[in-house]
Structure 1
Amino acid sequence: MGDNSDSPLPVVSYARISDDTEDDAHGVRNQHRTNRRTAERLGWQVVKEITDNDISASKANTAREGFQEIVAALPSGVLADGTRFDGVVVLNDDRLARRAADYESFVEALTEEPGRVFGDEHGEKDLYSETVEGMGLVGVVFSKIEARKTRRRMRQWHRDRAEDGKPPGGRRTFGWREDRMTREPTEAKLLADAVEEFIAGRSLNSIVRDWQRLGVKTSTDRDWTTTSLKRLLQNPRLCGYRRIGGQLVHDDHGRPVVGAWEPVVTPEQWQAVDALFRARAGHRIGSDGKPVEALPVDHREHRYLLSGILRCGKTKPDGTVCNAQLRVTRQRDCKHHIYACATKGRGGCGGLGRRGDKVDEYITELVLAKLEQRQSVTKDAGPWVKEAELERIESKLATLTAQWKNDQVTDDFFFANVRDLEQERTNLRNERARHAATTQRAARDTSDVRRRWNLPPEEGGLDIPQKRAYVREALHAVIVLPVGKGNGSRGNFNPDLLVPVWREE
């Protein structure tokens, strides 16, 4: 073992910072500094520092690359980079392992060859001694128990704060000041506008590009991405709600708990955003309880209004309709873009084309007129008609849960009934969110959409993704019928040869 000779034993310093401890970012450096001092005191020399940062040792199936590297190298005493070592020094046992299996694998690897050393800030430990190994295992078990207790306390702490209407801890969220309660005016305005524009159909990518152009940064001073913006818009904190484990936090009466911080948007607006994300994830359910078609999502930014929406209506020699999507092409003697059917090699017939600017102008007017008509109908639709039904289900759930807690019903009876009630509640909540999305869309003045349609985006106008969202909301497709002989794609424009396929009301 360590003999404090003039030739110090080479050892590895191992440090671990996990997300279930109170250590800060400087903890790694502090651990290694303490380990070096321990090694010097014992007559050892640290030749390598290995760290597992922000990794828990108490959770199963957690990959700790540093720990595994040490265990794999201990029998030979040579690390992957060729560094020779004869032992390991750590801050204390719970930094090394919190699971008995991990501790046993470490001890087996270390003691496979004689002369290996191990120590922590309390001094050297002889792992070749069964007594010391047993004490270590006992310590690991208690550390694991304490880790589980800590996680349970943290989960309960978060839930208690949520039920009391307090904001989550940690760094501030974009849109609020450092106190996490007061709105930051500039950021809050950007967030509110983003919510409205997303409800209106603007893509996340389009909003992010606009923010990047304006130099807007996240609360951690990073560039915005579609992922970070999506995560923020999905957060019910925007309207004053909290979500834990994927579920909104509700009070005893089944109503969402409203936080004490200043909201950025209304609950109806956030529910509309949430419903849109759910629909895009493929979970949209119709009022009859059956899945319905969700609006198509553009996975890339198109440069033209009707790409992929126009379809060829020419009849092929076998009597079937071509139905291929029209693509945009350019010709040197034409300054306007042309929507044309793809060639036979690309699945089309190559026999139809139409002047793009005229088609865009005509379909735009049809769509705006349709949306204005739909808006007037939706505004008269009134409030969601199933609010009383949802309240009844939530009341039954609360009563059943209270009876179960008071041992008034058996476990079998409770679990046999609670699942159906919870599923019914979820379906009704989702339906309410979809109604909120529809109402929020109708609440936007379509006359303002018409005004903004032809303005450049930098002046508050709609960009192509926003315009396409309105078109797709109104239309399945537009069938383009062939013109008569002698008329090319740039002949006299005939709107009767454009057949819109409208979405159901």
Structure 2
Amino acid sequence: MARKVGIYTRISRDDEGDAMGVARQQQDCERLADLRSWQAVKIYEDNDVSAFKRNVVREEFELMLKDLRAGLIDGIVAYDLDRLARQPRDLERLIEIFDERPKSEFATVTNDVNLGTPDGRTMARIMVAFANKSSHDASRRIKRKHLELAQQGKDSGGPAPYGWRKDDRTKVDPDAARAIREAQQEILAGVRIGTIRTRWWEQGLGNPRAGTKRMAHHHVEHILTNPRLVGYRTYHGEILTGASGEPVKGEWEPINTVAEWEAVCAAVTERKLQQRPGKLLARKYLLSGIARCGLCKTKIRGQINQRRKPGSKATKYTYQCSVVNGGCGKVARVGEPVDKLIAELVLEEQREKAAALGAPIQQQWPRESELEAVQADINQLIEAEKTKQITVSTLLQLLPTKEKERDELKLDRARFYKDQKQAEAQVRSGELSLAEFFDLPVERQQEIVLHSLSAVMIHPAGRGRRIFDPSLIDPVWR
């Protein structure tokens, strides 16, 4: 009976995404299996996966080891030993299995290493050690090259980040840039990143991997706060600064101004600081946590009305004072007409305010010259040390104070532009129709309501009353 073997193929980078490299390896391995009269029963393919990086899990490699240990396959065929292992610990795991199952087969296309013999294992260990060193050397050269490119403001290649064209990553993709700006406006208006993430996934935005997996929360956050948006060059996640102390500018078109980008970054950071430990729960209903019971003054939350008529598919929600949440349980109101009434009142009030105030005046941060002066002092100190006018010790005594002052000023600038952009978004809310208001994410709706109201008091309707009475809904204006 022919021995059943698994074929393992791997390539570290597949920039084209066509899997041609692993396909060629598979063909050569299948020919070798035929020559040995082995039956290839399964292909284990790790395409675009590194065997050198320690934090990378090769799912097919792990499955292959598991199948080999369980006896589901009798051996392995690979194109080369370095396709299987570039870390000695991975080779030792494989050797352990060959210790447990000494009759297992092993073959590679490029050389003949027998993992069943002491000499073969010694040779394999030497080969993997050299492959590991080669990867270390290549990694060191690549890192040095990328740092040099970063210092010159040049791009380092790879897939284009979302927001730039795939065929020319220095040019902005208009559709993607528009999606980013719209999402940033939503962030400033109070919309959660989780809501944006869900919408992007439904619309196929944001370069989701493989087109099917939803992007992680931090990926969406990075897209919306990426320093690349304003042209800043980063290295290992940090903004690079030049000899003048100013951020290094990259050779690509920006999407945001510095004021816009800093406002979004400040809004994201501020929200993180305000969140309680754990995940922030998304609101489902407009007045959840805003409405209060007219009798006991406890906060009211929306909930689905479980009492439906037989055969009815309609799902209604109510604002119910709950005993569970410390309330009296004596007040409840169908939610939809309450939401509609409050939305109409708030939009009308904000339209009147917008008409009275007119368009918001764009203001420049008043302390810009102060920041420039501090940065000039820092540059002067660094230049004085370079020209030996002061010692390194003196520089390190004077520099931290100036750097702290600069960072505090930058934070103040970010807050200033964040408040300005949020005010602009609030003025624009007065232009919304009722239908447009309810098309917004519920967090944005709540932000608009809370700009005008501090609470909504819902009073009891009395027994038997079924007609909605607006006089029993009492908005508390700010």
Question: Does TM, normalized by the shorter one, top 0.5?
Answer: yes
What is residue 442 of structure 1 aligned with on the other side?
A: 423
| Residue from 143, 160, 172 that aligns with 1:183 | 172
- The letter for the 1-side match of 2:189 is A
1:383 correspondence with 2:362: no
SS in 1 for 2:6: strand
What is residue 257 of structure 1 aligned with on the other side?
A: 248
CA distance in 2, matches of 1:33, 1:46: 11
5 Å-filtered alignment, 1:154-165, equals: 154-165=142-153
CA gap 1:383/1:140 in 2 versus in 1, 3 angstroms = same
What is residue 31 of structure 1 aligned with on the other side?
A: 25
Q: CA deviation at 1:276?
A: 2.0
5 Å-filtered alignment, 1:80-159, equals: 83=73, 85=74, 87-159=75-147
What is residue 17 of structure 1 aligned with on the other side?
A: 11
5 Å-filtered alignment, 1:349-428, equals: 349-352=328-331, 356=338, 357-365=340-348, 382-383=364-365, 385=367, 388-389=370-371, 392=374, 396=378, 409=392, 428=409
SS in 2 for 1:451: coil
Q: CA deviation at 1:194?
A: 3.8
What is residue 433 of structure 1 aligned with on the other side?
A: 414
CA gap 1:395/1:211 in 2 versus in 1, 3 angstroms = same
Structure 1, unaligned runs of 5 or more:
1-6, 285-292, 316-321
What is residue 493 of structure 1 aligned with on the other side?
A: 471
Identity of aligned residues (%): 27
What is residue 281 of structure 1 aligned with on the other side?
A: 272
CA distance in 1, matches of 2:15, 2:343: 59
What is residue 445 of structure 2 aligned with on the other side?
A: 467
SS in 2 for 1:15: strand
What is residue 52 of structure 1 aligned with on the other side?
A: 46
SS in 1 for 2:149: helix
CA distance in 2, matches of 1:139, 1:383: 61
SS in 1 for 2:27: helix
5 Å-filtered alignment, 1:56-67, equals: 56-60=50-54, 62-67=56-61
Structure 2, unaligned runs of 5 or more:
309-315
Q: CA deviation at 1:342?
A: 1.0
Q: CA deviation at 1:247?
A: 2.5
Q: CA deviation at 1:110?
A: 1.7
Give the alignment's TM-score, normalised by structure 2: 0.73
CA gap 1:135/1:201 in 2 versus in 1, 3 angstroms = same
CA gap 1:166/1:367 in 2 versus in 1, 3 angstroms = same
Q: Greater helix percent: which structure?
A: 2
- The letter for the 2-side match of 1:269 is E
CA gap 1:90/1:424 in 2 versus in 1, 3 angstroms = farther
1:323 correspondence with 2:311: no
- The letter for the 2-side match of 1:436 is Y
Q: Deviations over 1:362-407 (max 9, x none)?
A: 444556677899999x958751537735873796499679969x9x
CA gap 1:484/1:462 in 2 versus in 1, 3 angstroms = closer
Q: CA deviation at 1:438?
A: 1.3
CA gap 1:130/1:422 in 2 versus in 1, 3 angstroms = farther
The size of the alignment, in residue pairs, is 456
CA gap 1:36/1:341 in 2 versus in 1, 3 angstroms = closer
1:312–1:324: 8 Å Cα contact kept in structure 2?
yes
Q: Deviations over 1:47-89 (max 9, x none)?
A: 433233443322336434443444455567x12xxx4x1x332
1:171 correspondence with 2:166: no
- The letter for the 1-side match of 2:171 is T
Give the alignment's TM-score, normalised by structure 1: 0.70
1:199–1:273: 8 Å Cα contact kept in structure 2?
yes
CA gap 1:91/1:301 in 2 versus in 1, 3 angstroms = same
CA distance in 2, matches of 1:280, 1:253: 33
2:11–2:46: 8 Å Cα contact kept in structure 1?
yes
CA distance in 2, matches of 1:109, 1:224: 34
What is residue 318 of structure 1 aligned with on the other side?
A: none
CA distance in 1, matches of 2:226, 2:290: 33
1:17–1:23: 8 Å Cα contact kept in structure 2?
no
SS in 1 for 2:114: coil
- The letter for the 2-side match of 1:324 is K
Q: CA deviation at 1:143?
A: 1.7
What is residue 326 of structure 2 aligned with on the other side?
A: 347
Please tell me the root mean square deviation across aligned C-alpha atoms, in Å. Answer: 5.0
What is residue 228 of structure 2 aligned with on the other side?
A: 237
Q: CA deviation at 1:111?
A: 4.2
- The letter for the 1-side match of 2:82 is D
CA distance in 2, matches of 1:139, 1:418: 50
